[in-house]
Amino acid sequence: MTNAAESDTIFQKNPQFVARTIADELVLIPLQRHLEDVNSLYSLNSLGREVWELLDGKNTVTSIRETLWSQYEVDSKILDEDLALILEQLESIKAIQAS
């Protein structure tokens, strides 16, 4: 796993995941599931949804952070921690990968 907080890292979405809006929530659904995948649907909060939409294989972590910073009024340390956590979680379920 890469260090998701690295500023020049670029992530791509795994094409084996689809995103669907269900009842105003963005849900990630893996297309291929294994028996050990008990929790195979992943719901993203509003910040997670914004991050997911910015993961286009072109944006660096820094550019994603700057976009989020312009949209949310939050302490920069909290934003950095939340962004790193979201990226780490998405990477741990293999929904994204560093390119």
Looking at the 3D structure of the chain, how many domains does it have? Answer: 1
Model pTM score:
0.85
Residue 70: inside a domain, yes or no? yes
2 lies in some domain: no
Comparing CA positions, the residue from 97, 94, 83 lying closest to residue 45 is: 83
- What's the domain range around 43? 11-98
pLDDT digits (tens, 9 = 90+) for 25-75: 899 999 876 555 556 789 999 999 999 999 999 999 999 999 999 998 889
Establish if 1 belongs to a structural domain.
Answer: no
Is the residue at 72 inside a domain?
A: yes
Using alpha carbons, list the distances in angstroms from residue 45 to 17, 32, 66, 79, 92.
17, 23, 19, 14, 17
Q: Which has the higher per-residue pLDDT, 7 or 4?
A: 7
**In whole angstroms, what is the distance from residue 52 CA to residue 74 CA?**
19
The whole-number pLDDT of residue 43 equals: 93
Q: Judge whether 4 lies within some domain.
A: no
pLDDT, residue 36, reads: 54
- Tell me if 20 is assigned to some domain: yes
Q: Would 48 be classed as within a structural domain? A: yes
Instruction: Please give the single-letter amino acid code of residue 66.
Output: E
**Tokens 């909060």, located at residue:** 45
Q: Give the angle subtended at the CA of 65 by the CAs of 21 and 53, to the nearest 5°.
A: 20
